[in-house]
Each structure stands twice: as structure tokens, then as C-alpha cells.
Amino acid sequence: MRLLFLGPPGAGKGTQAKRVAANLEIPHIATGDMLRQAVSEGTDLGLKARAIMERGDLVPDDLVIGMLMERIARDDASAGFILDGFPRTIGQAAALEDRFGGAGLDAAVVIDVDSDEIVRRISGRRMCGNGHVFHVDDAPSTEGDTCDQCGEPTYQREDDQVETVRNRLGVYRELTEPLIAFYQDRQIDFYRVDGVGGVDSITDAIMAALRP
């Protein structure tokens, strides 16, 4: 089963994709995580992508397509996968069709969340150097600017700042949202799920759609 999770940044695609991937026993492939790892490691791809990501813009298709095609060629993806963050443009979707034929996918899941909630979610997010994640409203660190799990300082990612988040939403509406219509026209299963609510209930709704 080859699945795509769509939705604006901060809609919970990553959280839900990990949970559904575990249920279906297929890999969760998140291009955003792969790009951030490349930036952290200072690879050639990371150096090219860093300034682009900090502005909230999309990394050029050729860089992302090459990285993604290498990942889905691995043995663990032979029985299927969940894509999170790819495709983000019609050009990337076309590359996926070229790779697999037809629509390139079996189903797409859209997680719907309104823009004001997205800005609140992302701009309030804080992290520490060990990867623990907090939110100033929902799950604050009990020590203020210090991680209450490991004692490391917490910080806000450059691409989580309000102005950048609004730019990311604009990019999503312009370049990625058209993918919804693109895949609705393809002969694949297509589902919409409300992304506001408990994590478990959203997962249940997605699984019920995929396995009626």
C-alpha cells in the first residue's frame, strides 16, 4: 500500500503517519525530517537546503526528488510506504507517477486544520538539543526555558517563527493544496479527516477510512 498524507504544515501529518505506518507495518518516509538531518550533518544537500528552509520556502524539486527516489528504492519500502511531505508540487507528483506508473499511489489522506490553529501550533513549539518537543500552551516545559526531561535549553526553530509559518502556509496554498484536486482526479482512494481533536481519535478515523 502506497499512501500519501496531505495537509498544511502543523496539521499533524507526521504524528499520524508514524502511528498509521506502525499499524500497517510499512515505513513512514518524511522528507522534512530527511532534509533537516541533511542540514544538521552539513551534507551538500543540507547546505543547499538550509537557507531555503529558513525562509519557509520549498526546496527545489530536483533535490527532493532525488533524495526521495533513493529512499523508496530500499528493501523496507517494497511492500509500501507512507509519504509525508512529498509530493508538495505537481512536478513532484508527476515524478512519482513516472516511478510507479498510473497515479503512483493507492490512496491519499488529507488532514484538515484551519490556518489560525496551524499558526498557534507551530509558533508555540519549542525543542531541546536532545529532540524533546514542547508547546507553550499545550505541553510546556515545567522549567520555562529548560527541558524538564533532560535539562538542556529549549529553543524555537527558525522555521517555526510566526512570520515564517505564515509564509509556509502561503506556499502550501499556492503549490501544495492543488495536489488535492490533482489526486481527486486520479483513480485512487481519497479521504479527508478532521485534524482537530485527540491524537488517538484522529488515528482511529484514518484507520477506519483505510480499512472500512
13 within domain boundaries: yes
125 within domain boundaries: no
Beta strands in the chain (DSSP E): 2-6, 28-30, 81-84, 107-112, 125-128, 133-135, 154-155, 189-194
pLDDT at 191: 92
43 within domain boundaries: yes
pLDDT at 80: 93
Residue 11: how many other CB atoms lie within 10 Å: 25
Number of domains within the chain: 1
From the candidates 19, 121, 126, 168, give the one annotated as an active-site residue: 168
Contacts of 149 (CB under 8 A, 6+ apart): 128, 130, 132
Is residue 192 annotated as a catalytic residue, yes or no? no
H-type alpha helices, 56-198: 61-72, 90-100, 115-123, 162-171, 178-184
Q: Which is nearest to 11 in space by CA: 32, 25, 26? A: 32
User: Which range marks the domain in which residue 43 is found?
Assistant: 2-112+166-210
From the candidates 2, 88, 121, 126, give the one annotated as an active-site residue: 88
49 within domain boundaries: yes
From the candidates 157, 166, 186, 192, give the one annotated as an active-site residue: 157
Q: How far is CA 110 from CA 25, 157, 166, in A?
A: 20, 25, 20
pLDDT at 143: 67
Q: How far is CA 140 from CA 36, 89, 135, 146, in A?
A: 24, 35, 5, 10
From the candidates 13, 19, 50, 121, give the one annotated as an active-site residue: 13
pLDDT at 86: 86
Is residue 125 annotated as a catalytic residue, yes or no? yes
194 within domain boundaries: yes
146 within domain boundaries: no
Instruction: Decide: 54 and 108 in contact? Cβ < 8 Å.
Output: no
Is residue 13 annotated as a catalytic residue, yes or no? yes
119 within domain boundaries: no
136 within domain boundaries: no
pLDDT at 142: 67
Mean pLDDT in order along the chain per 10 residues (212 residues): 91 93 94 84 81 80 83 90 89 87 86 94 91 83 79 88 92 89 87 94 95 75
Is residue 88 annotated as a catalytic residue, yes or no? yes
pLDDT at 137: 86
Is there a cis peptide before residue 87, judged by omega within 30 degrees of 0? yes
CATH of the domain at 23: 3.40.50.300
From the candidates 2, 50, 71, 125, give the one annotated as an active-site residue: 125
Is residue 120 annotated as a catalytic residue, yes or no? no
